[in-house]
Structure 1
C-alpha cells in the first residue's frame, strides 16, 4: 500500500482531496497534515473582514473533506523532511513515512525589513489565523472611544482589499470611535496591474476618506506608531502587514532546490526540480518555467493538474506538464458591496461586479462542502 502525504490544506490540496473522493485511489492511502482544521478561501477573506461573510461561509472543514476522500487527517505542523528516509517531520508528533509527497502550505508576509514587525503588527498570513484574530479585534473595538488609527502596510491587491474591508467593518463595529484607516506602500498601489485599476482605486480611497501613502515604505513599528522611510512617525493603534510573500524557513533545510526567494522550485508538472517524489503547489512553490504572481487564482487552478499528476505517479505513469495562463481576471472587493474588476489594460467598477465575484466564490466553495 503506497502512502501519499499532503502537507498543508491550501487551495490546490483541497481540490486533490475532492478528486480523490470522487475517484478513489487504488492500493494507496492518503494522509493530510494540517496545522488548521478549517482552511480559509483567500478570495472571500476580505469579504469576511468587511462583515459580508460569516466565518463558516469562507472556511472549508478539512475533517469532513478528508472523511469524504477516505483520507487520514493529522492535526499537526510540518517542520521538515527527511528525504533519505522519506519521512515528514512534525512538531510534537512522530514523523510520517511517505512514498509520494505534496506540499501546499502557502506563504507568510515578509516582515524582515520592518523593525519590530513581529511584535507590533498583525500579519495577514497565515490566513487561517487571521479569521480568529480579526473576530477578537472587532470584539475589542466595540468599546473603543476616541481616535482610532488603523494602518495597513502593503499596496498589492491583498493590502488594498484589506484596507477597504477594515474601513467598512469598523465604521459599523466601532461606532464611538473617530476612525482613520491608512494604507502605506513602498511603491504605487497595485503594481503590475492596469493604470485604469490604480486610478479607480485611488478615487475610491479618496471618496471613502482612507489615507493613501504611496512611495512610503514602513521601517519600524512601535506600540501606537509606525516610522516610515521619510523618518516621520504616524500614529497607529493597530497595524496589519500584507507585504511581499516569504517562504517557510524549514524549506532551506530540506536540500530541495529553491528559487531566489526561498520558495520550492518545481517544474511544469509541479514536481520538485530536485526530487521527483515531491510535488508542491500554491504560494509555497515557484514554477521556474512559468513564473506567476503569488496569487490565489493560480493556486486554485493548480489543483486539477496536481491531482492528475499525483494520480499518474501513483499509477506508475509519467506526470504531464501544465501551462498556466498569463492574463487573468482580478476582482477586488471594496468592502461595501461593490468591486473593481481588471484584466489586461481595462478596469470596471460597480455593485454588479461584486455580485459577479460573490457568485464565483460561492460556486467554488460549494464544490468542497
Structure 2
C-alpha cells in the first residue's frame, strides 16, 4: 500500500528538536510507519549542537556548521513542523497548549527540549547577568558583547559564574575569540580582565584531579583569575558581590550555574524532580504517564541519574527511536542502561583539547582534531540527508466519528434535525452562526 494514502490513526508528537529527537526524525525518514502522523514542535527551527558551540564562539565554526536546520529534516521525515513555544500540557486530554495557536492533540509525546537556567534568585542576576541558556538567546547577547568590547577602550572586566566544564570552555572560547579580534584591530587584548568564579572548592568538580590540574595550568597561563569556594551574591551594572565579602568589577557576567526546566512541565502533573525535570524509567518513559517519553537534559532517569551533558542526549537517540517504534507497533518498550563513565573532550579555546574519562586524562592538539572529526560526522548525519522520498506530512487523516452526521445523506439528516428540540442558548457560548 502507498504510505501516503494510509489513513492516520496515531499521532506521535516530538516536542523539541534536541539531540535525541533528530535521531527519531532521521529514522522515520528512512523507515516511515504507515498510519503514524509525525509532528515536530519546536521554539526554534535551528537546533545547536552543544559539542560545537565552544568552537563556534571561538570562531572555528560558522553558524550553519554547528546548527541543524529542522525544516529539511522534518520534510525528510514526512513530519509536520510547528514553529511555536509550548506553555502547557493537558495530560487528561493528551494535548499540548500554546499561547497563540490551538491545542495540539497527541497519542504519544516525546520531550527533548533541553534545560534552561534556574530562576535567577541572586539579586541583580536576572537584570545584568547573561545566562548561557537558552543558547539562541545567548548567541544574540554574545554578538552584542563582541560589538561592545571592540568599541570600548580601557579595562573591560569579564566574569564567568560557574566553573564546570561548560563555564571553563565558555570562558576560554570567549577569550580566544576576543583576543584575536582585538589584535586584528591593533588593540591590546590585555585590557580584557578575566575572572572565573566557582562555588565549589575546585574547578571542574565533576572531573578527575588530573583534568583539574591541566585546566588550572591552562587558566594560569592565559592570565585568568580563578576564585574557588565563593558564590556570587549580587550582580550590579558594573560589579559583583561575592559570599566572602569581596566586590569585583564586572562589565559582563556570564551565568553558567545549574539547570532547570520550564515551569509548565511541573504544573502539568508529570512526575518531576525538584528542578522540574521529567522523571523517566529505564525505557525513557515518564514514571507517571507512560504516553510521555523524555530524554536529554529535560529528563531524569530515576534508576540511572547522570549529569546534564549533551553526550547522554546523543546516546539516548537510538533507544528512544526503538522504543517509540515499539509502542507505536503495540509492543512493550525495552530498558536502556546508560554508561557510567563517558569520554569528555573539553576544548581550551584554541585548537587544543583535554580528554577526560573516569580517572584518566590526557591533552593535545590531536584531541581537538579528533573531536572536530567526531562533531562533524555527527552533524553530517542530519545535514546531508539521503535522496529518499519522504512521506507526506498531510496524509489523509482517518475519520474519527464523533456523531456529527457528516456521513449521513441529506434527506435522512434533515428529517432527524427536524425532530430535535431547539438548542438551549447560553450567553457564554458563541456559536458560528450567531457570532458577530
Instruction: Work out the CA distance in 2 between the residues paired with 1:71 and 1:305.
Output: 20
* CA distance in 2 between partners of 1:48 and 1:211 (Å): 24
CA deviation vs aligned residue, 1:249-306 (integer Å, no higher than 9, x gap): 1111111111233211000000000111000000001000111101111011001111
Q: How does 1:144-159 map to 2 (within 5 A)?
A: 144-159=152-167
Contact 1:31 1:73 in 2 (8 A): yes
Deviation of residue 140 (structure 1)? 2.9
Q: Which residue of 2 aligns with 1:342?
A: 356
Query: Match for 1:120 among 128, 134, 142?
Result: 128
1:305 is aligned to 319
* 3-state secondary structure, aligned to 1:150: strand
Deviations 1:85-134 (A, max 9, x none): 11100121211011110111111122534222111111101123222322
The DSSP-based 3-state class of the residue aligned with 1:245 is coil
Are positions 1:181 and 2:194 aligned together? yes
Q: Distance in 1 between matches of 2:147 and 2:237?
A: 20
SS of 2:382 mapped into structure 1: coil
Aligned mate of 1:241, from 255, 263, 276: 255
CA distance, structure 2, for counterparts of residue 64 and residue 354 of structure 1: 30
**Residue pairs, 1:44-63, within 5 angstroms:** 44-63=52-71
Q: Which secondary structure does the structure 1 equivalent of 2:155 belong to?
A: strand
Matched, 1:88 2:96: yes
Quick check: 1:168–1:335 contact (8 Å CA) kept in 2? yes
Residue in structure 2 matching 1:78, options 67, 82, 86: 86
Matches of 1:136 and 1:190 in 2, distance apart?
28
1:249-264 superposed matches below 5 A: 249-264=263-278
SS in 1 for 2:122: coil
Task: State whether structure 2 residue 318 is matched by structure 1 residue 327.
Answer: no
Is the CA contact (8 Å cut-off) linking 1:113 and 1:219 kept in structure 2?
A: no
Alignment of 1:275-294 (within 5 A): 275-294=289-308
Q: How does 1:20-59 map to 2 (within 5 A)?
A: 20-59=28-67
Following the alignment from structure 1 to structure 2, what is the Cα–Cα distance between the partners of residues 367 and 117? 39
Paired positions, count:
369
The equivalent residue for 1:212 is 226
Shift of 1:350: 0.9
Verify: 1:12 aligned to 2:20, yes or no: yes
CA–CA distance in structure 1, aligned partners of residues 149 and 274 of structure 2: 41
In the TM superposition, what is the alpha-carbon distance from 1:212 to its structure 2 partner? 0.9
Greater strand share, structure number = 1
Residue of structure 1 equivalent to 2:179: 171
Which residue of the other structure, out of 272, 282, 285, is the alignment partner of 1:268? 282
| Match status 1:225 vs 2:239 | yes
Aligned equivalents of 1:243 and 1:92: distance in 2?
A: 32
1:367 alignment counterpart: 381
Q: Which has the larger radius of gyration?
A: 2
How far residue 315 of structure 1 moved from its aligned partner, in angstroms, is 0.9
Distance 1:223 1:140 in 2: 14
Aligned to 2:404: none
Long gaps (5+) in structure 1: none
Structure 1 position 199, deviation (Å): 0.3
1:156-195: CA deviation from partner (whole Å, max 9, x where unpaired): 1100100110111111223435111211110021112110
Q: Does the aligned pair in 2 maintain the 1:266–1:288 contact within 8 Å?
A: yes
CA RMSD of aligned residues (A): 1.1
- Determine the C-alpha separation between the residues in 2 that align with 1:213 and 1:52: 29
Partner of 1:131, secondary structure, is helix
Secondary structure at the residue paired with 1:6?
A: strand
